[in-house]
């Protein structure tokens, strides 16, 4: 059986778990930490980053964007990565935006959790938060069809879910139309609720 190594709290890992669940592909999810002493994650990805997918033939696939491409191929193609060139580029661009929102959100969290208080740099946090704010404002004005599950809408849903959890932004009050969008996406695929992160 194929394996996905990821933390269950990683929004990028959630992308892969959500895509697999939506496509009906069974994977063995192995909870993994990149930061624990003795972590073997670098054995599967020399960058030491998650998620990593281990295929039945032993090949390692990373990062989340490539894993979602692989899952789409395994499902027969044109499922979450559209075959139509314009739709494909639109979905991949939205995925890049969703990933960027998650990246910025993670950096905001890490600045508070990983750095000593005296080493924290407020302008850096605000720089990342501004990316997050601009990204959310853009998707609020250019909402994709929530009923069409693609790599792009999966990434956006994971980004909103991550911010809901870590509270880097009050996006529900700032962009109430996105609340409706996320509700519609959740109705389109059970995989959103099936992959909620565990509460710490």
Cβ–Cβ under 8 Å, residues 197 and 57: no
Query: CATH 3.40.30.10 residue ranges in the chain?
Result: 3-74
Q: What is the mean pLDDT of the chain?
A: 95
pLDDT per position as a tens digit, 86-96: 999 999 999 99
Cβ–Cβ under 8 Å, residues 98 and 11: no
Calculate helix-pair angle for 122-141, 176-188, nearest 10 degrees. Answer: 70
Query: CATH 1.20.1050.10 residue ranges in the chain?
Result: 85-191
Domain 3-74 has CATH 3.40.30.10: yes
Whether residue 36 is predicted with pLDDT greater than 80 in this model: the reply is: no
Give me the pLDDT at residue 181, please: 98
Domain 85-191 has CATH 1.20.140.10: no
Mean pLDDT for 54-69 is 98
Mean pLDDT for 26-35 is 92
Beta strands in 22-180 (DSSP E): 28-31, 52-54, 60-61
Look at 39 and 160; give whichever has higher pLDDT: 160
C-alpha–C-alpha distance, residues 55 and 148, integer Å:
27
Give me the pLDDT at residue 200, please: 57
Give me the pLDDT at residue 35, please: 77
Give me the pLDDT at residue 38, please: 73
Share of the chain above pLDDT 70, in %: 100
pLDDT per position as a tens digit, 112-126: 777 777 778 889 999
Give me the pLDDT at residue 33, please: 86
């Amino acid at each position: 059986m194929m394996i996905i190594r990821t933390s269950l709290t990683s929004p990028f890992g959630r992308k892969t778990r959500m895509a697999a669940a939506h496509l009906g592909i069974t994977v063995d999810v192995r909870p993994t930490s990149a930061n624990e002493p003795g972590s073997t994650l670098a054995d599967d990805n020399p960058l030491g980053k998650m998620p990593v997918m281990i295929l039945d033939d032993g090949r390692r696939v990373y990062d989340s964007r490539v894993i979602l491409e692989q899952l789409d191929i395994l499902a027969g193609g044109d499922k979450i990565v559209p075959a139509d060139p314009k739709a494909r580029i639109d979905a991949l661009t939205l995925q890049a935006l969703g990933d960027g929102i998650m990246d910025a959100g993670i950096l905001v969290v890490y600045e508070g959790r990983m750095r000593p208080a005296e080493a924290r740099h407020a302008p850096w946090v605000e720089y990342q938060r501004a990316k997050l704010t601009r990204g959310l404002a853009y998707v609020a004005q250019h909402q994709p069809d929530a009923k069409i599950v693609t790599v792009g809408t999966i990434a956006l849903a994971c980004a909103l879910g991550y911010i809901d959890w870590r509270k880097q932004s009050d996006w529900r009050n700032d962009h109430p139309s996105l609340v409706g969008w996320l509700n519609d996406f959740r109705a389109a695929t059970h995989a959103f609720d099936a992959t909620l992160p565990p509460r710490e």
